[in-house]
Structure 1
Amino acid sequence: MPEAPDNLKLLRKYSDSAYSDFEYVPVASEDDFRMDCGVLFLMAFWSGPAVLGFKRICESLNTFDLPNGFVFRVLDWDGATPFLERLSQYNLVIGGNAEALWFRKGEIIAATYLGTSSPERIMEIIDRIAQS
């Protein structure tokens, strides 16, 4: 596994400057799985689908007017392994498929993976998050 600074460089490269306001977490803790408003993305650096999904989310977030306080948190797959089983309860097939959990008011309102994270679907989720 590359060191965390190398992974952060890779994320910046993958985002292609489309969206760079993300938090990278190389080793996850329980607190990293909580947020008020935003998306929690599981990045498997060894997975083509995860890289593609990360790029898609970056491109999509760059085109939307995001709600105040929106957080894009990227967890390193290798540093989140103690929590992976928990993610499967959200109808996600865990395996480097660009898995993401979307939060509104501290609650998970959607779960996506590469096959369900089209720009249109992301826009629907962002619209839902932005509702008061």
Structure 2
Amino acid sequence: MKGNDSDESNEENPLNPNEGRIRRPPTWMRDYESGKGLFEEEDAAYEALFADNDPISFGDVVKIMKWRKTMDVEIKAIERNNTWELTDLPIKAKKVGVKWVYKTKFNENGEVDKYKAQLVAKGYS
């Protein structure tokens, strides 16, 4: 059986038939940079925007003074605005739970502007 030229080149080096081939990036990617060439400020801004620094559980937050102060401010605002009223639960009524939601707010420079804590009702329960 006769083979063509490509079969013969594969027989010379069966592990890597493309050895010696010059690889170039596609023309549409020539102005694209990833990692190298990025400035430190851009890296810091990227980390600030996409880093998940916000706490999730109440147990984590209670240990951090800045979040405790933020929660105190939220409770005082709820009391001052008469947003909620605690009452005795009627018989056979379902109670609505609450949950703390924490968010770190950044300014346009990527620096922390403020810490925000909200006490929200679990309306889905």
**Higher helix residue share:** 1
Rg comparison, structure with higher value: 2
Question: Could you tell me the TM-score, scaled by structure 2's length?
Answer: 0.25
**Higher strand residue share:** 1
Question: Could you tell me the TM-score, scaled by structure 1's length?
Answer: 0.24
- Compare relative contact order (CA 8 Å, sep 6+) and give the higher one, 1 or 2: 1
